[in-house]
Amino acid sequence: MKSFLKRFRRDTGKSPKPSAEGRQGKGILVFRSTGEVIRAERVLRAKGKKVRVMGPPPQIQTGCDMVIEFALMEQLEVKRILGDVGLEPLGVVPVDSPLLTPVGLYHVKELGAYLMVRAANMKLTVERGTGLIVNVSGGGCPDVPYLAQELVGQNLREAPQPLELGHTLCGYALQMAFEEAMRRCLQ
């Protein structure tokens, strides 16, 4: 019976949502500010670490809107890498309970010929067939109007990366939405 269900799951292309069991061996790094999260992600990826920025579980909210998920067995090396560049997480939390599972930062909504990707507090809307960016909204950061001005009307393939234009949490969230839109529209 299980093999039948696995076959069905493979045929539809849908995968199950990650559960606490699927996150065994994962941990999250908690930081004071979003700037530290963004910097830590860059440093860890540059060192070849597989990390993912996510929203913190409700039980671990510290004022920072993001945490970094990583392989817990690499904890010592990850902390050493971060320490070498002067980054000290507030804490390292093993994800061993469904209540401690970090939440995804982006959501995708299909709107006919358009695709809207929301990452944290930013939304990017793209015409699916052409990759044309038709709207940028959300935020609350001072650079959002500038980001919208620079990106709307551009094609995903030719548009500048949002993080090249803005360096706030909104710019970072828009970068995540941009990457997801590229993945979904330009496959």
Contacts of 151 (CB under 8 A, 6+ apart): 124, 133, 136, 159, 160, 162, 165, 174
- Domain regions of the chain by residue span: 21-100, 106-185
pTM of the model: 0.60
Q: For 21-100, CATH number?
A: 3.30.70
What are the φ/ψ torsions at residue 179 (nearest 5 degrees)? -65, -40
- pLDDT tens per residue, range 27-82: 999 988 888 888 999 999 999 999 998 888 777 766 667 889 999 999 999 999 99
Share of the chain above pLDDT 90, in %: 49
- Quick one: angle between helices 34-46 and 169-185, nearest 10? 50
Model confidence at 4: pLDDT above 70? no
